[in-house]
């Protein structure tokens, strides 16, 4: 191995840092110049959200924008997903994912461009909102694509930008994979995705290793025998069985799981009965399980099933119908890719604004791509005024709305610019000549 003299090595490192700083400046300039157009796109996407696997308008809009940039676009991959390819010589293939779906909920941000959209979901009308920031992600995704094409003289390889449906129900990534994503199109050498987070805009968070949780859904039907509320001895009350389960299942967390390990069981819905003086025949309980560790996941799943059956047995009731539905797996960031990328981000945004952070307890199906053996990195970008974030961090300070809140309200321009710049630099770093 040839060893460089110290002076030459220092010069080489300084030149690399100078090139990275130059890239960051050029990227920021490109995105600043296109921002008026991005603002229009963002507000249109925000005002017209669509729920999982119904993102037809959204997908068509993204497809049209990507074709205008020069990408070769395939639509209806995994039902409503899109795949956009841009080939620029020999080199790695880099996947950049954005999600497209909104949430079935009413927005209460108060913005002039707030969503008033409706959708039909499970046969019922619902309002829809981008209360998880997917509109920020899509706009930044478009900006990164446009910037990378504008700077194509500085890199070689293939861009594989995918618009994924149904992230909110952790089903879209699998749908795209099942539809031949890595058979009909190149299998990437690297994969990136980002997510807006209630951090200060201009800041970036990430981690090496797990960055999200495993997700499993609980669907349990407790069975009883209906009757008059005044004569419970003549009936078999499934409501009391369900209530016992809701309380007792928490002992799996507090008494069976290692307290140093993360694990959550939340019951989010109990449906049964019609009026106060009728004991129903059955009650349905729905919830979610979140974990990081596979062994903890298995322990909690077994505990939930056992407690459900025991709750029914204690009332001498029929065995419940227990469905524990596998959702998303934890995203595990590739350490080498994280280490490679963080230097570039720190150079561009400053050490104080780029930092490792604990894994989130929410779940994401970006893990589907990573689990195909693709070195991947999932990171977070801030969306709130730094002063508001600082105030929220004070004891008794005014809290800021979290993702999925009807009041979730990113500040558009700095949030989109940070996300777009960070993603562009991450991709450039693995494609540069």
The tens place of each residue's pLDDT in the chain, 433 residues long, gives 444 455 443 443 334 444 456 689 999 999 999 999 999 999 999 999 999 999 999 999 999 999 999 999 999 999 999 999 999 999 999 999 999 999 999 999 999 999 999 999 999 999 999 999 999 999 999 999 999 999 999 999 999 999 999 999 999 999 999 999 999 999 999 999 999 999 999 999 999 999 999 999 999 999 999 999 999 999 999 999 999 999 999 999 999 999 999 999 999 999 999 999 999 999 999 999 999 998 999 999 999 999 999 999 999 999 999 999 988 899 999 999 999 999 999 999 999 999 999 999 999 999 999 999 999 999 999 999 999 999 999 999 999 999 999 999 999 999 999 999 999 999 999 998 7
Reduced to 3 states, what is the DSSP secondary structure of residue 199?
strand
- Closest-CA residue to 108 (of 400, 402, 382, 405): 405
- Closest-CA residue to 191 (of 331, 286, 296, 56): 331
- Closest-CA residue to 61 (of 78, 44, 79): 44
Q: H-type helices in 350-411, by residue range? A: 367-370, 386-393
Q: H-type helices in 270-349, by residue range? A: 294-314, 335-349
428 within 8 A of 23, measured Cβ to Cβ: yes
User: What pairing do the DSSP bridges indicate for beta strands 81-88 and 376-384?
Assistant: unpaired
* CA angle, residues 63, 67, 72, in degrees to nearest 5: 95
What is the structure's pLDDT at 328?
84
Which are the contacts of 385, defined by CB distance < 8 A and separation ≥ 6?
A: 200, 201, 411
236 within 8 A of 317, measured Cβ to Cβ: yes
102 within 8 A of 46, measured Cβ to Cβ: no
Backbone phi, then psi, for 152, in 5-degree steps? -65, -20
Cα–Cα distance, 399 to 159 (Å, whole number): 39
Beta-strand runs (E) in 16-140: 72-77, 81-88, 93-99, 118-121, 124-127
379 within 8 A of 206, measured Cβ to Cβ: yes
What is the structure's pLDDT at 123?
95
What is the structure's pLDDT at 327?
84
What is the structure's pLDDT at 433?
72
CB-count exposure of residue 133 (10 Å: 0-12, 13-18, 19+) = buried
Beta bridge partners of 265: 289
Cα–Cα distance, 193 to 376 (Å, whole number): 8
Instruction: Confirm whether pTM is higher than 0.95.
Output: no
Backbone phi, then psi, for 371, in 5-degree steps? -75, 0
Cα–Cα distance, 219 to 36 (Å, whole number): 46
């Amino acid at each position: 191995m040839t060893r460089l003299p110290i002076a030459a090595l220092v010069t080489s490192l300084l030149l690399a840092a100078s090139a990275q700083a130059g890239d960051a400046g050029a990227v920021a300039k490109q995105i600043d110049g296109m921002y008026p157009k991005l603002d229009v796109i963002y507000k249109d996407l925000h005002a017209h959200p669509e729920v999982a696997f119904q993102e037809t308008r959204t997908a068509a809009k993204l497809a049209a924008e990507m074709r205008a940039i020069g990408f070769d676009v395939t639509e209806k991959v995994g039902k409503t997903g899109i795949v956009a390819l841009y080939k620029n010589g020999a080199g790695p293939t880099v996947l950049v994912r954005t999600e497209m779906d909104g949430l079935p909920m009413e927005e209460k941000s108060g913005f002039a461009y707030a969503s008033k959209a409706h959708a039909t979901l499970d046969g019922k009308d619902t309002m829809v909102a981008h209360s998880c920031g997917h509109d920020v992600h899509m706009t930044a995704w478009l900006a990164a694509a446009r910037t990378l094409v504008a700077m194509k003289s500085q890199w070689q390889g293939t861009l594989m930008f995918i618009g994924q449906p149904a992230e909110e129900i952790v089903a879209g990534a699998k749908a795209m994979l099942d539809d031949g994503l890595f058979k009909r199109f190149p299998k990437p050498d690297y994969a990136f995705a980002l997510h807006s987070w209630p951090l200060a805009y201009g800041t970036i968070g990430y981690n090496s290793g797990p960055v999200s949780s495993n997700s499993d859904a609980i669907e349990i039907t407790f069975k009883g025998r209906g009757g008059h509320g005044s004569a419970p001895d003549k009936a078999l009350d499934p409501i009391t069985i369900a209530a016992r389960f809701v309380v007792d299942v928490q002992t799996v967390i507090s008494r069976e799981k290692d307290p140093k390990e993360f694990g959550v069981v939340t019951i989010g819905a109990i449906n049964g009965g019609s009026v106060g003086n009728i004991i129903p025949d059955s009650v349905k309980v729905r919830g979610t399980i979140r974990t990081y560790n596979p062994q903890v996941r298995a322990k909690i799943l077994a505990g939930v099933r056992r407690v459900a059956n025991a709750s029914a047995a204690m009332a001498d009731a029929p065995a419940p119908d227990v469905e524990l539905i596998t959702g998303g797996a934890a995203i595990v960031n590739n350490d080498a890719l994280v280490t490679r990328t963080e230097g570039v981000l720190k150079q561009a945004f400053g050490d104080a604004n780029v930092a490792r952070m604990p894994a989130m307890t929410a779940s994401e199906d970006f893990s589907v791509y990573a689990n195909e053996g693709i070195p991947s990195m999932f990171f977070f970008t801030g969306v709130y005024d730094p002063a508001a974030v600082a105030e929220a961090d004070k004891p008794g300070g005014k809290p800021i709305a979290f993702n999925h809140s009807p009041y979730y309200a990113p500040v558009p321009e700095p949030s989109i610019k940070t996300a777009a710049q960070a993603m562009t630099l991450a991709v450039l770093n693995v494609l540069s000549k």
